[in-house]
Amino acid sequence: MTKHLIIPDTQCKDGQDFTFLYNIGKYIVEKQPEVIIHLGDFADMPSLSSYDVGKKSFEGRRYTKDIAAAQEAMSALLTPLYQYNAVAKLQKKKQYHPRKVMLLGNHENRINRAINDDPKLEGLISTTDLPYGDWEVHDFLSPVFIDGIAYSHYFPTGVLGRAATTASAMVSKLHMSCIAGHQQGKQVAYGKRPDGSTITCIIAGSCYEHDEDYLGPQGNNHFRGILMAHRVNNGSFDECFISLDYLKERYEQS
């Protein structure tokens, strides 16, 4: 049995405080899960948003700022791991090297869409500009199967391929344990296989501190945090949600 630590959408962008990612990194080192999965949209990439073009809020956005913010955020997340291994090496103790899986989300896929819409950008911008060199990277909506759990930024359902919006829909349509991001908050639904083993489907798509203007005051009042899957075995696991507020209290006030 293994432990999976799952990080939902972080949507990192210029001007943010990434202390919350440093706290997640400290939690990772403390708990040492065998696998770390980021569900996608690590980087927000607002400079390539087609929704905000022409709006006042779009002014000042730059691709280079988006990449620099992602680099700063990744450094915050992984610094505790690098520090832990540096000390372990000096003390001749076992270092910690988890499997790190990065799923590309629709925000990172903005890079590919921009190239498709304007071929002159090919060779000038690329998803390889993102600071994911230490991660096992998987294309947008290309599912990854680890210990019987399917991971994807979201799971398309129906003939139009739209994202499943409820965890219960994932149970009924996908028939296996699945974990997705993309949608704010958290949802959990359960099912059973014919042999009686448990199917668990989760949607958790918010691991950031900022509010989104388009959601309004009430829509921004949702869960923000990470998820640990304990005792993972052939798709069965015990889920544990850890809020960013809890991590802040644990690591910033000690």
Convert the pLDDT of each residue in 98-131 to its tens digit. 999 999 999 999 999 999 998 988 999 999 999 9
- Could you tell me where the beta strands, DSSP code E, fall in the chain? 2-7, 35-38, 99-103, 136-138, 144-146, 149-152, 156-157, 162-163, 178-180, 186-192, 198-204, 225-233, 236-243
Q: Can you give the length of the chain in residues?
A: 254
If you average pLDDT over residues 239-252, what whole number do you get? 95
Evaluate if pTM is beyond 0.85: yes
Measured distance CA(34)–CA(98) in Å, rounded: 5
C-alpha separations of 247 from 12, 40, 154, 194, 252 in Å: 18, 21, 26, 39, 8
pLDDT at 60 (0 to 100): 42
C-alpha separations of 49 from 4, 66, 73, 131, 186 in Å: 31, 11, 20, 20, 25
Domain ranges of the chain: 2-150+205-252
Contact 99, 147 (CB under 8 A): no
Q: What is the pLDDT of residues 150-166, one digit of tens each?
A: 999 999 987 677 889 99
Q: What is the pLDDT of residues 33-84, one digit of tens each?
A: 999 999 999 999 999 986 544 443 433 468 999 999 999 999 999 999 999 9
pLDDT at 61 (0 to 100): 66
20, 79, 78, 41: which is closest to 245 by C-alpha? 20
Measured distance CA(1)–CA(178) in Å, rounded: 17
Measured distance CA(249)–CA(65) in Å, rounded: 30
116, 129, 138: which is closest to 40 by C-alpha? 138
pLDDT at 216 (0 to 100): 59
Q: Which amino acid is at 58?
A: F
Q: Could you tell me the pLDDT band of residue 218, with boundaries at 50, 70 and 90?
A: low
The one-character DSSP state at 213 is G
If you average pLDDT over residues 136-156, what whole number do you get? 97
Sequence-ordered list of residues with C-beta below 8 angstroms from that of 46, at least 6 positions apart, any chain: 13, 52, 61, 66
Sequence-ordered list of residues with C-beta below 8 angstroms from that of 209, at least 6 positions apart, any chain: 16, 17, 20, 224, 244
